[in-house]
Chain A
Amino acid sequence: MEFISEVTDKRVPCYRLLDDDGFLISGTTFEQLDKETAVRMYEKMVSLQIMDTIFYEAQRQGRLSFYLTSTGEEAINIATAAALSPDDIILPQYREPGILLWRGFSMEEFASQCFGTKDGHGKGRQMPIHYGSKSHNFFTVSSPIATQLPQAAGVAYSLKMDGKEACAVAFTGDGGTSEGDFHAAMNFAAVMEAPVLFICRNNGWAISTPISQQFRSDGVVVKGQAYGIRSIRVDGNDALAVYSAIRAAREMVVHEQKPVLVEALTYRVGHHSTSDDSTKYRPVSEIEQWKSIGNPMTRFRNWVKANGWWTDEREIELRVAIRKQVLKAIQVAEKTQKPSLEDLFSDVYDKLPSNLQEQERSLRETINNYKQDFPTDVPL
């Protein structure tokens, strides 16, 4: 009689290409990254960082109701996007705006969603950062955790049946792996042989809950095998390794028509969101350490610079330009009208049912009688 142990002798290794200072670790295999892609990746990582900084500040100044940064996870965001095809369908959690950035979603579009303007895709119905864009193959963010994961299996099944050279890419955090939907998704994707690339950003924290209180397994990567899913653990702060791993994983998913799980180890340098103060539950020294050692931005910049593809002058130019873009986008969004009142009622169904028609009429009467009770920036 032999029981399978609950622990393994050796932890699953983590795929890395760049050391903490951005030097290539010798003896590792990886996807070659050309200059153009590498430079664009770094530029987008910088853009994401600047966008986060300014939007976060705008929220702190009370100009924005809510925000959530991807600080510390820039490499996962951008390197993943770069490794995928634009045809791949993204089912995001919420800390993946870098995919949209890579795919050409403009600063104006980010700002109009966050400020809930008439130009925002979501028509002002959801909290800031709940982006979505059909033309960028990016499903709309929803707040419930892990609900997008089983949906990804259905999306992938459709791609498979249509014979598309594309896959579904579903993101979750470490906390999300405790949800029933994570289990459902992994099992469905495996059984249906659905081409889904599951990417877990294991950043160590689900709001205030550390991974030691989230699961007792060797992280997330080991869960793949139990479902019959191939998996890999990658250093999520190493853009080159993420790019390389995602490229390889996507190749398997699309050409072997089955799911793959990628666990990207990282650290949530920022607070969970603007509604959170993470110093209440973790030491500032820990955050500071992650900011400096193995910082994904610094590592990748050092590597790009070492290749002779990047200079400090370009960095300054870029930062000035992006800063301008973001500030302008915010200024424009602040002055842009909100969506009109009819958008409160539209899109619940494809057509307005009689109960909503009646409620709209009644609400308009109330507005006429009590204009002072209602915001003035919503066109009636």
Chain B
Amino acid sequence: MGFPLGSLSELRHRSINFRSTVGNSFSWVLPYFPLPFKMPCTTGRGITRIGNFSRIWSSPCRGLQTAVHGQSPPPTKPVNLFSAVNQALHIALDTDPRAYVFGEDVGFGGVFRCTTGLADQFGKRRVFNTPLCEQGIVGFAIGLAAMGNRAIAEIQFADYIFPAFDQIVNEAAKFRYRSGNQFNCGGLTIRTPYGAVGHGGHYHSQSPEAFFCHVPGIKVVIPRSPRQAKGLLLSSIRDPNPVVFLEPKWLYRLAVEEVPEQDYMLPLSEAEVIREGSDITLVGWGAQLSVMEQACVDAEKVSIYFALLDIFEEGISCELVDLKTLIPWDKETVEASVNKTGRLLVSHEAPITGGFGAEISASIVERCFTRLEAPVARVCGLDTPFPLVFEPFYMPTKNKILDAIKSTVKY
């Protein structure tokens, strides 16, 4: 059974039109994106709150480890992604007195409101601001984690994580290995918002996941929705390995979903088939899944003429896989899907060259070469810095994906 995701994508699509009609007169009800200056609204991509996100994204919570069998499902409430993150942090602090939450502007609730109310409830010694210094935040967090604490560090934007790159790559990732398992900083989780947002330009839009996927010793996790964000974040926080947790900032307010109020965890390194299909497998993660889902919906309406056979085939059936954890990743689920469909498309916002899509592509070619009926397609960001006014051109849009689906199936 598939779990159609249509309306989120539809809304993203609609909001583009909406934005282009209102232009600069559009005003944010809430400070979605707290830049200290007004951004030009020339990209034609806007964001608004979505009504029925829950209907689409509410796949059965198969990873809901705390659910009790034979009883009614746990109570849920519709919440957006930043609130789901907030709930996870709340639970993490509440269930472990050795958990700490900190980063730039975290004390007042964070620029994306993810840490709202936490300092009031758990005190300024457990939830606090740090100086504006990413290498300091991560270094401090490693030391804290190495003493047996759960250090939940926030880097305000993934674009600003690079000063901490050395601490992540040379320190956190090797902490256990280099000490022969005498020391570890497994309690470390680095949360950071990533990805396009319509008006972020070079430094509020990047998707740096591939850099971290090249580093043995850390895990990289990216949720697609509020329910996923809460469950995966709690798993990341409690996982005995350092985790880089990338949050799709596009969805912080946009995505609303029924989220269980209770404490639950979703498994890491397990991909999920969120929409079943038979003609082609699409693999993605985070916010890009909603764009891919829209392409899947449109592909159902496509009919393709196969000249060689002189037949028309009505509708392309797409299988959509959410990878969720990028390293160590669940090759088996993707492999099984490609063995079924015989075709693969990978899509991400990050530049195509050296992106994680290349790794997936290579691995699946290795494993499914004889089953593949077409080259693996990659629909990704361009090999340019993330551009402001050109964002709609840069992005791996629905129709770019749709075209790639068609040409792959037709190949």
Contacts and interface: CB of A to CB of B under 8 A. Distances in A.
Given A157-B140, A180-B163, A353 B269 contact: yes
B330 to A, nearest CB: 8
Category for how many chain B residues contact A? 35 or more
B139 A150 contact: yes
A185 B130 CA distance: 12
Contact of B147 (A155, A187, A354): A155
Category for how many chain A residues contact B? 35 or more
B340 interface: no
A187 B181 contact: no
Interface in A166-190: 168, 180-181, 183-185, 187-188
Interface string B122-149: 0001000011010110111111111111
B144 A157 contact: yes
A266 B151 CA distance: 37
Contact of A158 (B143, B167, B184, B332): B143
Given A134-B182, A188-B136, A350-B186, A154 B328 contact: no
Given A151-B142, A188-B130, A354 B178 contact: no
Contacts of B180: 120-123, 125, 132, 343, 347
A155 B148 CA distance: 10
Contacts of A159: 147
A130 B184 CA distance: 16
Contact of A147 (B170, B186, B329): B170
A162 to B, nearest CB: 8
B135 A180 contact: yes
B390 interface: no
A153 interface: yes
Contact of B143 (A121, A134, A155, A191): A155
B226 interface: no
B183 interface: yes
Interface stretch (A22-30, A45-53, A136-144): A136-144
Given A154-B142, A155-B146, A354 B183 contact: no
A152 interface: yes
B240 A350 contact: yes
Given A123-B180, A140-B182, A151 B136 contact: no
B241 interface: yes
Q: Nearest 5 pairs between A and B by C-beta?
A: A154-B143, A150-B139, A184-B136, A151-B143, A353-B328
Interface of B: 125, 130-131, 133, 135-136, 138-149, 151, 163, 166-167, 170-171, 174-184, 186, 216-217, 219, 240-241, 269, 328-329, 331-332
